[in-house]
Amino acid sequence: MDTMDYLEAYYNNYDEEGRLLRRHGQVEYVTTMTYIHKFLPEEDKGNCRILEVGAGTGRYSIALAQAGYSVDSIELVEHNLNILKSKVKEGYRITARQGNALDLSGYGDETFDMTLVLGPMYHLYTEEDKKKALQEAIRVTKAKGYILVAYCMNEATILQYCFGKNQLRECISKNMLTEDFHCISRPEDLFEIVRTEDIKRLTEGMGVTRIHLIAADGAANYMQDVIDGMDDELYELYIRYHLSVCERQDLIGATNHSLDILRKEQMNENTGT
C-alpha cells in the first residue's frame, strides 16, 4: 500500500468530525478558531481570502464561510471532500476541490491573506515533503499574511500510547523509537510525530516570522473523561484557563496538537529578497 491507500482506508472509517465535536476535542477547535480570528480582519470579510490546505470534512472551512470570509478548500481524501461539499450552502463564498499540499500550482503567488495547513503535516514523513508543503503554503500567502500549521506532538504519543496503553515494548521491538524516545513514523503508522525543535528547524530560512507556537489542546486528551463530564459553566472556565496558558513554551511539548502561527515577511524591493 502507498501513503494514499493508508490515508483513504483510515479516513473512510474514522469520524474526524465527531472527534472535533466531543467536548475534549472542542478544546483544539476553539483554540484554533480563536487564533484564526485574532489574525483575520473583522471588516470587509468578503475581500479576505483564506486557503485551507487539507481541509478534511470542512469543520474550519465551513465555519469561516459562514462567518462571511471567502474560502478556498483543498482536500486529498475524496471521502472527506464529499462530506465537506455536502455542507456548502447557497451564499457561502467557498470552493472545494481535491488537491495535494505538495502542489498548490493551481494558485498564484501571494493570493491569500491566510493559509491554513491544519492536517497535512500529520501525514508527511520526510523533511523534504514537510518543507515543500510549507514552501507552497508560504508562496501562495500574501506578504504580511499568516500561515497556521498544525502538528502532532511526540511526548503525548509516548505518554498516552507507549506508556498509557502499554505499547512501549512493542514500539521498541519494531524500531519505532530512537534512543531518546523520538517516534519514527512510516505511512502505515498514519501519523508523523514531531517535537518543538523539529518545528522550529523546518521554517529556518523560509522568509517567515514565528508569531506564536501554541498548545492547541494542551492537557485535553490527558483529561478526556474529566472534560467530557464537565457542566457548561465548568467547561467555559476550563477553556478560559487553557487559552490563558496555551502560549506557555514550557507546556507546548506535551500537547497532542500544536499550532505554529507564522507571518510571511515583506519582500525587500531593493534586493528582491
Nearest CA among 203, 181, 217 for reference residue 261:
203
Nearest CA among 96, 118, 169, 151 for reference residue 16:
118
- How confident is the model at residue 129, as a pLDDT? 95
Question: For 69-89, what is the mean pLDDT?
Answer: 95
Question: For 35-44, what is the mean pLDDT?
Answer: 90
By residue count, the chain amounts to 273
Task: Output the CA torsion 71→77→82→85 (10° steps).
Answer: 0
The whole-angstrom separation of Cα 122 and Cα 3 is: 12
| Residue type at position 27 | V
* DSSP codes of every residue in 55-84: -TTSHHHHHHHHTT-EEEEEES-HHHHHHH
- How confident is the model at residue 20, as a pLDDT? 60
Domains of the chain: residue spans and CATH? 3-152+188-264 (3.40.50.150)
Across 13-22, 36-45, 87-96, 107-116, least confident range: 13-22
CA angle 128, 198, 107 (to 5 degrees): 45
Q: Tell if the pTM clears 0.85, that is, is over it.
A: yes
Provide the pLDDT confidence category of residue 269 given band limits of 50, 70 and 90: very low
With H, G, I as helix, E, B as strand and everything else as coil, classify residue 150: strand
Provide the pLDDT confidence category of residue 13 given band limits of 50, 70 and 90: low
Question: How does pLDDT run across 134-182, given as a tens digit for each residue?
Answer: 999 999 999 999 999 999 999 999 999 999 999 999 999 999 999 999 9
Q: For residue 230, is pLDDT > 80?
A: yes
- How confident is the model at residue 41, as a pLDDT? 82
- How confident is the model at residue 46, as a pLDDT? 78
Q: What is the mean pLDDT of the chain?
A: 91
Question: For 174-191, what is the mean pLDDT?
Answer: 89
